[in-house]
Amino acid sequence: MAITKTDFINYTRCRRYPALENIRQDKLESNLTVEEYLKEENNEKLKEIMSMLVETDEENGEETDLTKKVDKQLNAMMDYYKEIEILAASQVERTFGGKSIYSKDTFMQESFDYDLNGIKYMCYVDIYNENKDDINIIEVKATTNRKYNELNYKIGEETFPLFTQKDNIFYLNKPSEPSDSYDKKILKLLNRYGDEGKYIYDLAVQRFIIDNYYKKQKKINYYLAVLNSEYVYNGETENGKNVYKKDENGNDIIVIYEMNEITKIYQKYIEADREKLEKSIFELDNSPCRVSKSCELKKRTECKFKPICFSKVPSKNASYNYKRFISFKANGIKYDKYDLINEGYYSLGDVPKEWITNNNHLIQRECYDENKVYINKEKIKAGLNSLSYPIYHLDFETFPCPIPRFRGEKPYTQSCFEFSLHIEKEPGKCDKDKDNYVFLATSNTEDQREEMVKMLVEKIDVSNGGCMLAQNVSFEKGRIKELSIIFPEYKKQLTQIYNSGRDLLEIIDNNKELYKSLGFDEYNSSTVNYYNNEQSGSYSIKKTLPLFTNLTYHDLEVQNGVEALVEYSMFDKMTPEELNKSRNALTEYCKQDTWAMVEILRGLRNLLK
Ligand code: SF4
């Protein structure tokens, strides 16, 4: 039987997983073909890159189901992954010298296997490098180093970074004296389900296979290569292609982290996982087991058997759908979402009322128990009155390209390619078509941002009052700020728009500071303005739109932000007919986003009648 690195990571989630996978005897005895392995690896890489492109709104339980999107279009995203691997390989050669083996296709990469107890553990490595003294194993990830940069530890009052760079490589520091905060950060690196630990666990599984394969030859080093979140592309091209030399601050686009020590510490956990894995494979016990963080609910790595193990949990108003839920505390014990399920609290109404202390949770519970809608008319009225007209309803569509494409961008900069604007001159006075303006780029490789900025500042004039309104305005404000740095000649107008920014969520959900300033007391300024059971704890536009309008995204060709960015990323590969069709679909989608805001405001006004 062959167990790949991805199998290992999945089969060790829990005792039940291998049994639900129904590993048959023929699979136990078969070997994996290179093609099968390639498909599996590519699917994992695709999921990884897509998760970086999409903001997961875990709090609100909103997430695009990427597993349904693995099709021809999403595979176009793989080109970016391959480009990252090529950039990483050239960085590796500059850093280590020697010879490297890597490929655009996994089956050309170096592979390793290790036979134990009738199981062949196998892995391919992204980059295999060998020089006079060492073998270097480099795992390339389409993520950035931000999470590692942000890790610091303290000794007394002094703060130190967990990793420091020396000769192009980041190394894990050792504290000069015992430090609790250092130990805590190491535990983060050792959490295989955490943001910082998951990539290292992946590398540590490779180490388990490779160390056993080689037994003892040369020294083997283990590295992660990731994108540098600080790298700023200067717009330089050669022969029509972007070139990524060191930036003005001396940053490389790829950074390498040495993970020898931490992957070594991981080996005892991997060994324990391997023993559990072999036991569960041979027992194949598919009776229910306790759910836990290994299920990775609402993450891109969510276990595919969630529908089975969470079958008693309703799809709406689950016990963990309390607004911004983290945990409940009762009798000194904390209950997170997994604890609630393990204890048999499946729906919102199952949670003992006496556990609920948060006022918004109490409102939510009352609405659930009494099947009613909560409306704080005074606050909604005050919120609506605080908006100044004209209201410029604005929505950007962005492509957070892993590799920066245009001057001034970093890896995963939310690069704007479209906006829709609806202008509401007076309350309710806005025509769906006549008062709508859409900018949409015609190419995904040509920099058309200045054209977009020109149109934006021409259409939005808040110099004599009025405001820019968006759902989650911090996103729109963030983009406007970035554009004002890249195009300083428009800074004055862009800053005015930025300063006028208001959030639709302030009217329907809440904004404590705003309502305090409008004279509301502590209770009222910290509780929601509106709640309906249909929201299931979320204020996303997908949830609020059907409450106030008959509008739906189901009949649109582009139905969400991921589909929008994937469409756009294919522009330059389309025929003129395809491009035309795609641009029409994107125009309709973005226009719907801002029209939805106009309609929700109308719906809120109607509540007051
Ligand atoms: S959903 Fe959770 S409990 Fe069920 S198989 Fe997956 S990891 Fe195990």
How large is the average pLDDT for residues 578-589?
A: 95
Residue 106 — pLDDT band, cuts 50, 70, 90? Answer: low
How large is the average pLDDT for residues 441-457?
A: 97
- Tell me the CA end-to-end span of the chain in Å, nearest whole number: 69
- E strand residue ranges, 451-604: 467-470, 502-503, 530-531
Centroid of ligand 1 to alpha carbon of 308 (angstroms): 8
Residue 149 — pLDDT band, cuts 50, 70, 90? Answer: very high
The answer on pLDDT for 170 being more than 50 is yes
CATH number for the domain whose boundaries are 2-56+71-148+176-283: 3.90.320
Q: Ligand 1 pocket: which of 301, 306, 338 to mutate (most atoms <8 Å of CB)?
A: 306
Mind listing the pLDDT tens digit for each residue in 242-279?
A: 999 999 999 999 999 999 999 999 999 999 999 999 99
- The per-residue pLDDT for 71 is 57
Centroid of ligand 1 to alpha carbon of 301 (angstroms): 12
How large is the average pLDDT for residues 355-359?
A: 97
In the chain, where does the domain assigned CATH 3.30.420 lie? Answer: 377-607
Alpha-carbon distance 600 to 545, whole Å?
7
Centroid of ligand 1 to alpha carbon of 7 (angstroms): 14
Closest residue by Cα to atom 1, ligand 1, is 306
Phi/psi class of residue 537: alpha, beta or left (left: φ > 0; alpha: ψ in -120 to 50)? left
In the chain, where does the domain assigned CATH 3.90.320 lie? Answer: 2-56+71-148+176-283
Q: Which of 28-32, 382-386, 503-507, 550-554 has the lowest mean pLDDT?
A: 28-32
Write out the two tokens for 86.
């090529």
Write out the two tokens for 538.
């979320």
Mind listing the pLDDT tens digit for each residue in 88-105?
A: 999 999 999 999 988 755
- The per-residue pLDDT for 62 is 43
C-alpha atoms less than 13 angstroms from C-alpha of 509 in its C-beta half-sphere: 19
What's the pTM value of the predicted model, to 2 decimals? 0.91
Contact residues for 570 (Cβ-Cβ < 8 A; gap 6+): 73, 76, 444, 582
Write out the two tokens for 197.
């630990």
Mean residue pLDDT across the chain: 91
Ligand 1: which residues within 6 Å by Cβ?
Answer: 13-14, 16-17, 20, 289, 291, 294-295, 303, 305-306, 309
Contact residues for 284 (Cβ-Cβ < 8 A; gap 6+): 18, 19, 22, 23
**Closest residue by Cα to residue 119 from 210, 31, 35, 39:** 31
Report helix, strand or coil for 178: coil
Alpha-carbon distance 150 to 186, whole Å?
13
Write out the two tokens for 372.
């009613």
CATH number for the domain whose boundaries are 377-607: 3.30.420
- The per-residue pLDDT for 58 is 37
Mind listing the pLDDT tens digit for each residue in 200-254?
A: 999 999 999 999 988 767 899 999 999 999 999 999 999 989 999 999 999 999 9
How large is the average pLDDT for residues 278-295?
A: 93
Cβ-contact 488, 495 below 8 angstroms: no
Q: Radius of gyration of the chain from Cα atoms?
A: 26
Centroid of ligand 1 to alpha carbon of 314 (angstroms): 17
Cβ-contact 219, 134 below 8 angstroms: yes
